[in-house]
């Protein structure tokens, strides 16, 4: 499974389309574990959800309790933290300079 991405943000779906899958990628293919990033809504609150899923023998991905869901207003802070982690990892030679 390659990283999947949602459509271009300029063509973003409306809020009534929740949950909206942003990306998913393998965490551990041997154990059928993948990480899903999505936007969702719970009791009227918009959330960013980063969650571990397992794929059953029937091929259906099911969420686990492992993950984090937080208010969408925290998304810019999370994005800055991840961008900083990428920059530091590149400087340390942990990932290639041209990694996206």
Q: How far apart are CA 24 and CA 16, in angstroms?
A: 21
Q: By the 8 A CB rule, do 23 and 37 touch? A: yes
pLDDT value of position 99: 73
From first to last of its 100 residues, what are the pLDDT tens digits of the chain?
555 555 566 677 777 788 999 999 999 999 999 999 999 999 999 999 999 999 999 999 999 999 999 999 999 999 999 999 999 999 999 999 887 6
Q: How far apart are CA 90 and CA 28, in angstroms?
A: 23
Q: Specify the pTM.
A: 0.79
Domains along the chain with CATH numbers: 9-72 (2.30.31)
Q: By the 8 A CB rule, do 18 and 40 touch? A: yes
pLDDT value of position 60: 95
pLDDT value of position 14: 75
pLDDT value of position 11: 73
């Amino acid at each position: 499974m390659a990283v999947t991405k949602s459509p271009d943000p300029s063509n973003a779906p409306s809020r009534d389309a929740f949950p909206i899958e942003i990306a998913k990628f393998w965490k551990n293919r041997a154990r059928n574990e993948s990480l899903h990033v999505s936007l969702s809504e719970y009791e009227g609150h918009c959330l960013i959800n980063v969650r571990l899923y397992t794929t059953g023998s029937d091929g259906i991905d099911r969420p686990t309790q492992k993950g984090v869901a937080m208010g969408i207003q925290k998304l810019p802070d999370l994005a800055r933290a991840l961008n900083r982690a990428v920059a530091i990892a590149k400087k340390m030679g942990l990932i290639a300079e041209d990694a996206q």
